[in-house]
Chain A
Amino acid sequence: MTTATVGQEVTYLEAISQALDEEMARDERVFLMGEDIGPYGGAFRITEGFQKKYGEWRVLDTPLAESGFVGAAIGAAMMGMRPVVEMQFADFISCAFDQITEVAAKNHYRWGAPVPLVIRAPFGGGVHGGPFHSECPEGWFFHSPGLKLVAPSTPYDAKGLLKAAIRDPNPVLYFEHKFLYRRVKAVLPTEDYIVPIGKAEVKRAGADISVVTYAAMVHLALEAADLLAKEGIELEVVDLRTLIPLDKETIFESARKTGKAIMLHEDNKTGGIGAEIAALLAEECFDCLDGPILRIAAPDTPVPFSTPLEEFFLPKVGDIVAAARKLAVY
């Protein structure tokens, strides 16, 4: 585990670890459940050292039974605990789909009992993981009223959003992008801070085209922005940070400013979150648009394994550049 030190750079992964550590120290109701998170420290080592520090009842190694232990986390949350469940890979969240969408999501609506639960889900591809270790499952839960969904792109957001998720009285699915774990670093504040759920952030201001995106694709958008700036096209990169509830205000403000929008996500195109935001823009921001709303996303296939297949599958900088050039003429 890493503790916060002034001036020290931490990775996205370490930021998540810090958030867990600080919240567990701050609030004795917070405890962890998941496979191999105890002595092993978790498949990605995020909980390394935690069981030694907090004991085996606050860092619980569960049986291989996602539905069972997510259900248990729901029950504990109803009784006032603050469980943080780790899915070893986001792909396994499908085993707990029923408990998440039927029990957790609908609980407060039906009989007023809050479910202050967090489920951490390492998602996304680019790691040669194949169909069951690279999935972006957020689309399934986007459509489940009662859940909050967040997806940070930076260490700062990763730490702040996880803290906010743990303190939120609702079930929050926290999608952490495994590709970013060790690839993005930052110096973080040492004092306690949260990133509010429900607020997007403009990661790069630009006058010409809004790129609405989240997680690993934020970095792809920033890369494309640097290239396009050279040909006089200025991208504005809007990092959603929260998928549900969507920050419509920030999205619309950006669209009004640029008049052009590109939806960018790693999830499959059809029925992905980009489709919803495109519909919202067309519905509520039509007058501000100067051109069609474009979507860049993975094709409608499972995530393939072989390198050339996965490269084809994932959105590329070139896709963003081409889309931006297409919109620039409007």
Chain B
Amino acid sequence: MDLSIVKDAIKRADLLQMYYFLRLTRTLEDRITALYRQGRIVGGVYTSNGMEAIAVGYASALERDDVIAPFHRDMGAFLVRGITPGEVIAQYLGKRTGPTKGKDGNVHIGDLKRGIIGFVSHLADNLPVATGVALAFRLRGESRVVVTSTGDGGTSRGDFHEAMNFAAVRKLPVVFFCNNNQYAYSTPLTLQMAIPDVVDRAKAYGMPGEIVDGNDVAAVYRAAQRAIQKARAGEGPTFIECKTMRMHGHSEHDSAKYVPRELLEEWKKKDPILKAEQMLAQLGYADEATFREVGERVTKEVEAGVDFAERSPLPEGRETLDGVFATEEEIEP
């Protein structure tokens, strides 16, 4: 993004804050991957490596009262909303101190207090749910917004289309993010859709759409801000396609040999953290010392998280039977 625009549009403190979250996301997910390779993680690991700017960018543009309905490569959004590294690792280890108390795993994190809708593995199921969150805001006359997120593959499912349509028909305060990372597991874009850009779908449903460099956190932040403002003003939904690249496999067990080496090399040069550092340095907002400091800070936080998670208890077997149904006390009468 044009540096002069960044300088005018985004406060230094906010950019530094986003940089911190980029580093925290990367360090946390790298640490989880390392634990996985040591056999210390239960089940699979799904990271957002190389895509961190999208989740950090959009989540940073939201107010406290807003809500996110993310998918599995939105770790940055969880962290911006206040989920701690300790909670994430506890969840990965199936501990009782994780957000789902061991009932669900890896990134299936949900918390109403922090405005996070817990998603299911069926991609795009979160999109109609997000339109419902927006509908509740509209019905109650609240000026709150929901941002929802999926991948290129997610936009092939019926629920994506039904959600986009409903949001546009009813002009709901929802913003749709598409993390176009070019692969859905091993399926490349050319087998996923016949159109060159996912954003072409926005017009079909009657909402504005734009393409954004998904590896430029400032660009994502600005696009998100504009769309969120629009939604908050009652002007309806927007679709934002973030172009990026999935740098690891679908999950950490997947070596992703189907991705051409050259493609990965090309995108490595556009790493979101690298780009953020270049931008901050060029703006004179930060230098190597800052980057080192942030690195140390996030490493400390993540290590504290590992420690917390490893010391946490596992749930007991019979807790399996708890929580199938909600009780009346859990909701305002």
**Stretch binding the partner chain, chosen from A111-119, A183-191, A281-289, A290-298:** A111-119
Considering the chains assembled together, what is the distance between the CA atoms of A106 and B108 in angstroms?
12
- Among A70, A110, A115: residue with most chain B CB under 10 A: A110
With a cutoff of 8 Å between Cβ atoms, the chain A residues found around residue B107 in the complex are none
**A79 interfacial by beta-carbon distance below 8 Å:** yes
- Among B122, B125, B132, B137: residue with most chain A CB under 10 A: B132
Considering the chains assembled together, what is the distance between the CA atoms of A201 and B132 in angstroms?
36
Known: A63-B166, A107-B118, A146-B324. A72 touches B131 (CB 8 A): yes
Considering the chains assembled together, what is the distance between the CA atoms of A169 and B327 in angstroms?
7
Find residues 134-183 in chain A having any chain B CB closer than 8 Å to their own CB: 145-146, 148, 167-170
Assess the B110–A111 pair: CB atoms within 8 A.
yes
**A200 interfacial by beta-carbon distance below 8 Å:** no
**Stretch binding the partner chain, chosen from A37-45, A97-105, A260-268:** A97-105
Of A72, A106, A114, A116, which one neighbours B128 at CB under 8 angstroms?
A: A72
With a cutoff of 8 Å between Cβ atoms, the chain A residues found around residue B112 in the complex are 78, 112-113
Of B130, B165, B332, which one neighbours A63 at CB under 8 angstroms?
A: B165
Considering the chains assembled together, what is the distance between the CA atoms of A62 and B129 in angstroms?
15
Assess the B136–A99 pair: CB atoms within 8 A.
no
Find residues 112-144 in chain B having any chain A CB closer than 8 Å to their own CB: 112, 117-118, 120, 122, 125, 127-140
Known: A71-B162, A98-B122. A79 touches B325 (CB 8 A): no
Number of A-B contacts (CB under 8 A): 152
Of A65, A76, A110, A170, which one neighbours B132 at CB under 8 angstroms?
A: A76
Considering the chains assembled together, what is the distance between the CA atoms of A71 and B108 in angstroms?
18
Interface size on A, residues (CB 8 A): 45
Assess the B129–A103 pair: CB atoms within 8 A.
yes
Known: A67-B158, A75-B131. A109 touches B324 (CB 8 A): yes
Q: How far is the CB of A92 from chain B (nearest CB, A)?
A: 13
**B263 interfacial by beta-carbon distance below 8 Å:** no
Known: A65-B166, A72-B166. A98 touches B125 (CB 8 A): yes
With a cutoff of 8 Å between Cβ atoms, the chain B residues found around residue A113 in the complex are 110, 112, 117-118
**B175 interfacial by beta-carbon distance below 8 Å:** no
**A80 interfacial by beta-carbon distance below 8 Å:** yes
Known: A57-B139, A79-B136. A71 touches B325 (CB 8 A): no
Assess the A71–B103 pair: CB atoms within 8 A.
no
Q: Which residue of A lies closest to B170 (CB)?
A: A60
Q: Which residue of A lies closest to B127 (CB)?
A: A71
Of A62, A74, A116, which one neighbours B166 at CB under 8 angstroms?
A: A62
Assess the A111–B103 pair: CB atoms within 8 A.
yes
Assess the B125–A114 pair: CB atoms within 8 A.
no
> Per-residue 0/1 for B137-166: is the Cβ within 8 Å of any A Cβ (1 yes, 0 no)?
111100000000000000000110111011
Considering the chains assembled together, what is the distance between the CA atoms of A106 and B327 in angstroms?
15
With a cutoff of 8 Å between Cβ atoms, the chain B residues found around residue A116 in the complex are 326, 331
With a cutoff of 8 Å between Cβ atoms, the chain A residues found around residue B162 in the complex are 63, 65, 67-69, 71
Assess the A69–B139 pair: CB atoms within 8 A.
no
Find residues 297-333 in chain B having any chain A CB closer than 8 Å to their own CB: 323-328, 330-332
**A19 interfacial by beta-carbon distance below 8 Å:** no
**B69 interfacial by beta-carbon distance below 8 Å:** yes
Assess the A114–B136 pair: CB atoms within 8 A.
no
Q: How far is the CB of A50 from chain B (nearest CB, A)?
A: 15
Q: How far is the CB of A106 from chain B (nearest CB, A)?
A: 7
Considering the chains assembled together, what is the distance between the CA atoms of A74 and B162 in angstroms?
14
> Per-residue 0/1 for B208-225: is the Cβ within 8 Å of any A Cβ (1 yes, 0 no)?
000000000000000000
Considering the chains assembled together, what is the distance between the CA atoms of A242 and B150 in angstroms?
38
Considering the chains assembled together, what is the distance between the CA atoms of A58 and B139 in angstroms?
8
Assess the B120–A81 pair: CB atoms within 8 A.
no
With a cutoff of 8 Å between Cβ atoms, the chain B residues found around residue A79 in the complex are 67, 132-133, 136-137
Of A67, A106, A169, which one neighbours B120 at CB under 8 angstroms?
A: A106
Q: How far is the CB of A246 from chain B (nearest CB, A)?
A: 14
Assess the B130–A75 pair: CB atoms within 8 A.
yes
Of A72, A102, A146, which one neighbours B122 at CB under 8 angstroms?
A: A102
Of B108, B130, B331, which one neighbours A80 at CB under 8 angstroms?
A: B331
With a cutoff of 8 Å between Cβ atoms, the chain A residues found around residue B272 in the complex are none
Assess the B326–A81 pair: CB atoms within 8 A.
no
**A24 interfacial by beta-carbon distance below 8 Å:** no
Assess the A80–B332 pair: CB atoms within 8 A.
yes
Assess the B159–A102 pair: CB atoms within 8 A.
no
With a cutoff of 8 Å between Cβ atoms, the chain B residues found around residue A237 in the complex are none
Assess the A170–B326 pair: CB atoms within 8 A.
yes
Assess the A75–B118 pair: CB atoms within 8 A.
no
**A84 interfacial by beta-carbon distance below 8 Å:** no
> Per-residue 0/1 for B62-78: is the Cβ within 8 Å of any A Cβ (1 yes, 0 no)?
00000101000000000
Known: A65-B162, A114-B331. A75 touches B133 (CB 8 A): yes
Q: Which residue of B lies closest to A95 (CB)?
A: B158
**A31 interfacial by beta-carbon distance below 8 Å:** yes
With a cutoff of 8 Å between Cβ atoms, the chain B residues found around residue A60 in the complex are 170
Q: How far is the CB of B116 from chain A (nearest CB, A)?
A: 9
> Per-residue 0/1 for A12-37: is the Cβ within 8 Å of any B Cβ (1 yes, 0 no)?
00000000000000000001000000
Known: A65-B165, A106-B120, A145-B324. A99 touches B132 (CB 8 A): no
Considering the chains assembled together, what is the distance between the CA atoms of A219 and B325 in angstroms?
32
Assess the B323–A108 pair: CB atoms within 8 A.
yes
Considering the chains assembled together, what is the distance between the CA atoms of A183 and B132 in angstroms?
36
Known: A62-B166, A72-B132, A113-B118. A169 touches B328 (CB 8 A): yes
Known: A67-B159, A68-B159, A75-B133. A111 touches B127 (CB 8 A): no
Taking Cβ atoms with an 8 Å cutoff, the residues of B that contact A are 67, 69, 99-100, 103-104, 108-112, 117-118, 120, 122, 125, 127-140, 158-159, 161-163, 165-166, 169-170, 323-328, 330-332
| CB-CB nearest 3 A-B residue pairs | A75-B132, A71-B128, A68-B162
Q: Could you name 21 residue pairs across A and B whose Cβ atoms are closer than 8 Å?
A: A57-B138, A58-B139, A68-B166, A69-B166, A71-B125, A71-B132, A74-B129, A75-B133, A76-B133, A76-B135, A99-B125, A103-B125, A108-B324, A109-B324, A110-B110, A111-B108, A112-B323, A114-B326, A116-B331, A146-B325, A170-B325
